[in-house]
Chain A
Amino acid sequence: MAEKLDVKQGTLALMILRTLDVLGPLHGYGVARRIEETSKNRLALNYGTLYPALLKLEQEGFVTAEWRQSENNRRAKYYALTAAGRKRLAREARDWHRTADLIAAFLAPRPEAP
């Protein structure tokens, strides 16, 4: 199995926002599962990383949280994206793409000299 990576500071928020954007309101477990799956299990997300990040987003008003019944009839806290969260996601995604393109351009294999 490939070596597990730590979540880079700041990228976790983006992952959470994106997950909620794609899947709609979701509990913490769901978010964690989704992120791990999307990363093909290269990311390990323990509770001590995930829940403070969720709380921070909630404090900043990017997500809201409410207690609901889950699909298998369990009480769970569901997180949902707010309008501000959606805006932040769009902005950060754009920034990431730009950065990624830039870095990719830099790291591109040198064209063979003619």
Chain B
Amino acid sequence: MRPVRAALARILGFFTGHRRDEALRDELQAHLDMETAENIRRGMRPADARRQALLASGGLTQAAEAVRDQRGLPWLEGLAADLRYALRALRLSPAFTAVVVITLALGIGANTAIFSVVRAVLLKPLPHRDGDRLVYLRHSMDGPGGASIAFSVPEVRDLRTGAPSLGGIAEFSEWTVRFQADDGAVRIDVGLVTGNYFDVMGLSPVLGRLTEPRDDGPGVPPVMVLTHAGWMKHFGGDSSVVGRQVRLDGTSVTVIGVLEPAPFFPGRADALLNMVISEHHTSAFMVEGRTHRMTEMVARLAPGASVAQARAEVAAVHARMQRQFRDAYDPGSHYRVTVIGFKEVLGERARLTLWLLMGAAAFVLVISAASVANLTLMRGVRRQHELVVRAALGAGLARLRRFLLAENLVLAGMGAILGVVLAVGGVRLLTALAERYSPRANEVRLDGVVFGFTFAVSVTVALLLSFLASLPREGSFASSILAGAHRISGSLSKHRLQRGLVVVQIAVSVVLLAGAGLLTRTMMRLAGVETGLGTEEVLTIQVPLLTPAELLFNPASDAAAKERYDRMRDEIAALPGVLDVGIGSSMPLRSSGVRFEVKAEGKALAAGEAMPRAEYRTANPAFFRAAGIPLLRGRPFAATDHRGSGRVVIINRTLADRYFPGEDPLGHRIAWTGDVLRFTPISGEWRTIVGVVGNTRDGGLDAEPRAVMFMPFAQELAIGGGFAIRADSNVSALAAAATGIVRRIAPTAPIENVLTVAQIKEQSVSPRRLNAALVSSFGVLAVIIAAVGMAGVLAFSVSARTTEIGIRMSLGADSGRVQRMVLREGGVLLVSGLVSGVAVAFLAARGIRGLLFGVAPHDPATFIGVAVMMAAIGVAACWIPALRAARIDPAITMRS
């Protein structure tokens, strides 16, 4: 306790010390007076008495200084004085200060902004209680769309009994319901969850209660827990919402509570409901069907259990399932289950992009710090005189060091403040980027931890800058003073540090430019991908009239829905400028999300070969023409392909190549197959192929085209549903009129994804464009800083060597020779920077392989282009000081 008390007293003294100076003077004076009086009493003359007393005191000023050191925090007081002095000194060189502050602000701002996103999306602990004990189980298989296929209820049951390391398993089934709001119906994403869900996830309500095991099973009242986001979005955060009845899919549901803010995976959710809302989820189909996979699993590790244990147990259970139910897991598709930390899985899509940006920002900071270091080094040389004078007046090395530190702290502090201002703007942009990749983007903020990071970065930069500068060596002061401290050391070789920093700047610029080049080429490749559609003048509208429940359990609703689709189609077709209107279950360039195994008549699969799968889509006769999907063979659907006629299909090229390589598929028969068909209203009858259409990029522009099988819209149930509208020009102008028609005919139906083909493409391209733009702007920034840095160092070298160059010229060197000399100096730096930069970029490019599309990480064109560009900029940067050197007039320099 004593040291604490003493420290507190000193801190107090630091603030109140100046008020106590007077008391201290009085005390010392009293001492002196008493001693003088005593001396007089002993018989000295008054003048001698006082002199003796003063001698014995050891000096009043020194004593006061010693007490002051003990009283407050002398180091801090000294620093405060240094800071004041530094501010004054910097005000005298505003250009230097401005350049340094802006350079540092760019580096610090970029790092602050990107760190705030990295922290929120990847690092921050989850809001869930003991969130690091949560694991996500991923079921996957080979083939497009097989990355995550969810679990069936029997599979969950097997894992629950066979893997005791999973202490609790929360089941979450993604589902959409039609929510009747005051201003029309919307389709909202919800999760159907088991009663133990919230307990396992470790989430608490902010209002009301959450579902419990008593809410499980059929025959209980349907209840809804709003997620925090859903509560804000649909109810504006109204706290009287608990207990209210809302209509979902025509059923009355009670809102029982509101959940604390938390991220969901794999999809977002506006509300969580007990299973009873979906007749389907409580039916035998779902509960007994092993291949009916609709459930996502998040588990909480049992106390003491490790992830490794859980992995081993899950693998054992999965192997047993595969042995026991051969039909459900065709060996060629390589079914597998992986156990991933929940926090990791939430960040997995954002991770690579964010670390790329963090790395780029770190590079920008390195380069800006290097450039500032060079500026301060040069300033340091010019100020050697001042430092020598200070040393001569008694400042020790430590004192000089502290003075430099104070100055750099001021610079870094101002840079940090400006950087944070820049970061505030950047965070908004980055949050928009992060939203595409992470459910945790709404957690991004500039909070204490982020500011702590900024502070640490700034102080580190200040420390580095202060200790880079070389101070006059102790003992060399005298000679420096003798020399008048005007002779600035000249040759560049003496400034190895400065040259090293220039090389670093060039190398870092090359790395950033290479990254920017690769990402830009990726973006351009992506934008150049053929969508497979013949035109971009297509508007798509998704209007799901029927809910999955209606489709499954109310066959009568189908005919009515189709009649309404036809009416909408007719009215939209009558709009001016419309060429064609097609009706289909899902729109091109979007995944239908419905995929089944396909078999072809007379085509056996080789042993171990994966069962081919295709997307399920329906289309009316005009659909292909309207969407611009080219017909490669056969005929489009016709009005004669109706419910009563023979079942026909049109397949896309990928599916045709899969089953009929080198053959004409027309006339062959093909069918949906697989155990899972049992749970759907889709027939497994043979269907005759009447046409082949071109591929479209339905899984995103960067994904390979998927196999698709189209059926006549009239022959199948109206699953999904929407329009492809083609116009002669300016199709986006039709959006308002077309949605108006839909709204009038189906006032309560959700209207979604009203997008032109160009807009859909843009959705694929824009995140990449943002990546490329961010890294490119970092790259440009780096190049500018590096070029200025290089020109600065050479210019400094030239001005320091004016006399030497003057002598050379008077001895016969012509201006061309002088120019070459300077250029050679710069060239050495440039080449070293280029070589090391290309080497580092080569290694770094491998790390961003996952972000590239259509371009190899070691793409020679990019690397050569970057090297040439950097070399050109570097030569230009050398040229200016070289010209200046060549223009030196020997007569003038020799005289001065």
- Digitize A58-74: 1 where CB-to-B-CB distance is under 8 Å, 0 elsewhere: 11110000010010101
Of residues 40 through 84 on chain A, the ones whose CB sits less than 8 Å from some CB of chain B are 44, 46-49, 51-52, 55-56, 58-61, 67, 70, 72, 74-77
Contacts of A35 in B (CB 8 A): none
Stretch at the interface among B67-75, B691-699, B802-810, B868-876: B67-75
Contacts of B67 in A (CB 8 A): 48, 51-52, 55
Check A48–B34 contact: CB distance below 8 A: no
Check B2–A46 contact: CB distance below 8 A: no
With an 8 A cutoff between CB atoms, is B99 at the interface? Answer: no
Q: For A44, give its contact among B31, B33, B56, B70 (CB under 8 Å).
A: B56
Check A29–B34 contact: CB distance below 8 A: yes
**Count of chain A to chain B residue pairs whose CB atoms are closer than 8 Å in the complex:** 80
Of residues 2 through 61 on chain B, the ones whose CB sits less than 8 Å from some CB of chain A are 2, 5-6, 9-10, 13, 23-24, 26-28, 30-31, 33-35, 37-38, 56-60
Q: For B62, give its contact among A48, A56, A67, A76 (CB under 8 Å).
A: A48
Q: For A74, give its contact among B34, B38, B59, B70 (CB under 8 Å).
A: B34
Q: How far is the CB of A3 from chain B (nearest CB, A)?
A: 16
Check B66–A52 contact: CB distance below 8 A: yes
With an 8 A cutoff between CB atoms, is B784 at the interface? Answer: no
Check A51–B66 contact: CB distance below 8 A: yes
Of residues 58 through 114 on chain A, the ones whose CB sits less than 8 Å from some CB of chain B are 58-61, 67, 70, 72, 74-77
Of residues 818 through 860 on chain B, the ones whose CB sits less than 8 Å from some CB of chain A are none
Contacts of A44 in B (CB 8 A): 56
A23 CA / B463 CA spacing, docked (Å): 52
A48 CA / B23 CA spacing, docked (Å): 16
Interface size on A, residues (CB 8 A): 25
Check A47–B31 contact: CB distance below 8 A: yes
Known: A29-B34, A32-B31. Contact between A47 and B58, CB under 8 A?
Answer: yes
A77 CA / B71 CA spacing, docked (Å): 16
With an 8 A cutoff between CB atoms, is B63 at the interface? Answer: yes
Contacts of A56 in B (CB 8 A): 6, 70
Q: How far is the CB of A94 from chain B (nearest CB, A)?
A: 18
- Among A27, A28, A55, max chain B CB count under 10 A is at A55
- Among B37, B65, B71, max chain A CB count under 10 A is at B71
A33 CA / B39 CA spacing, docked (Å): 12
Known: A47-B58, A59-B9, A60-B2. Contact between A28 and B70, CB under 8 A?
Answer: no
A74 CA / B9 CA spacing, docked (Å): 28
A44 CA / B55 CA spacing, docked (Å): 11
Contacts of B69 in A (CB 8 A): 52
Contacts of A49 in B (CB 8 A): 58, 66
A27 CA / B31 CA spacing, docked (Å): 8
A35 CA / B703 CA spacing, docked (Å): 91
Check B56–A75 contact: CB distance below 8 A: no
Interface size on B, residues (CB 8 A): 31
Considering only CB atoms, which chain A residue lies closest to B37 in the complex?
A: A72
Q: How far is the CB of B581 from chain A (nearest CB, A)?
A: 88
Q: How far is the CB of B401 from chain A (nearest CB, A)?
A: 26
Considering only CB atoms, which chain B residue lies closest to A77 in the complex?
A: B27
Considering only CB atoms, which chain A residue lies closest to B38 in the complex?
A: A33
A58 CA / B34 CA spacing, docked (Å): 22
- Digitize B739-760: 1 where CB-to-A-CB distance is under 8 Å, 0 elsewhere: 0000000000000000000000
Q: How far is the CB of B712 from chain A (nearest CB, A)?
A: 93
A72 CA / B41 CA spacing, docked (Å): 13
Q: How far is the CB of B40 from chain A (nearest CB, A)?
A: 12
Q: For B66, give its contact among A27, A28, A48, A70 (CB under 8 Å).
A: A48
Contacts of B57 in A (CB 8 A): 46-47
Contacts of A47 in B (CB 8 A): 28, 31, 57-60, 62-63, 66
Q: How far is the CB of B35 from chain A (nearest CB, A)?
A: 6
Q: How far is the CB of B283 from chain A (nearest CB, A)?
A: 78
Check B10–A59 contact: CB distance below 8 A: yes
Contacts of A76 in B (CB 8 A): 27, 30, 34
A77 CA / B24 CA spacing, docked (Å): 9
Q: For B30, give its contact among A33, A48, A58, A77 (CB under 8 Å).
A: A77
Q: How far is the CB of B64 from chain A (nearest CB, A)?
A: 8
Check B31–A46 contact: CB distance below 8 A: no
A89 CA / B58 CA spacing, docked (Å): 28
Known: A29-B34, A59-B5, A61-B5. Contact between A51 and B59, CB under 8 A?
Answer: no
Contacts of A72 in B (CB 8 A): 37
Contacts of A58 in B (CB 8 A): 9
Check B26–A75 contact: CB distance below 8 A: yes
A32 CA / B6 CA spacing, docked (Å): 23
Contacts of B13 in A (CB 8 A): 59
A60 CA / B33 CA spacing, docked (Å): 28
Contacts of B60 in A (CB 8 A): 47
Considering only CB atoms, which chain B residue lies closest to A30 in the complex?
A: B34
A29 CA / B2 CA spacing, docked (Å): 27
Considering only CB atoms, which chain B residue lies closest to A47 in the complex?
A: B63
A49 CA / B70 CA spacing, docked (Å): 11
Known: A59-B9, A61-B2, A61-B5. Contact between A29 and B31, CB under 8 A?
Answer: yes
Q: How far is the CB of B32 from chain A (nearest CB, A)?
A: 8
Known: A46-B58, A47-B60. Contact between A74 and B30, CB under 8 A?
Answer: yes
Q: How far is the CB of A49 from chain B (nearest CB, A)?
A: 8
Q: How far is the CB of A58 from chain B (nearest CB, A)?
A: 8
Contacts of A67 in B (CB 8 A): 23
A60 CA / B60 CA spacing, docked (Å): 24
A21 CA / B620 CA spacing, docked (Å): 108
Check A28–B59 contact: CB distance below 8 A: no
- Among B28, B35, B69, max chain A CB count under 10 A is at B28
Contacts of A32 in B (CB 8 A): 31
Contacts of B31 in A (CB 8 A): 27-29, 32, 47
Q: For A46, give its contact among B23, B26, B56, B71 (CB under 8 Å).
A: B56
Contacts of A46 in B (CB 8 A): 56-59, 63
Check A48–B56 contact: CB distance below 8 A: no
A59 CA / B63 CA spacing, docked (Å): 18
Query: Could you list 25 A-B pairs, sorted by A, with CB under 8 Å?
Result: A28-B27, A29-B35, A32-B31, A33-B38, A44-B56, A46-B59, A47-B58, A47-B60, A47-B62, A48-B58, A48-B59, A48-B62, A51-B67, A52-B67, A52-B69, A55-B67, A59-B5, A59-B9, A59-B13, A59-B70, A61-B2, A70-B34, A74-B33, A75-B26, A77-B26
Q: Nearest 3 pairs between A and B by C-beta?
A: A46-B58, A47-B63, A59-B9
Known: A48-B59, A48-B67. 18 other contacts (CB 8 A): A27-B34, A28-B27, A29-B30, A46-B57, A46-B63, A47-B60, A47-B63, A48-B58, A48-B62, A48-B65, A52-B66, A55-B70, A59-B9, A60-B5, A60-B6, A61-B2, A77-B26, A77-B30
Which positions in B face A, CB cutoff 8 Å? 2, 5-6, 9-10, 13, 23-24, 26-28, 30-31, 33-35, 37-38, 56-60, 62-63, 65-67, 69-71
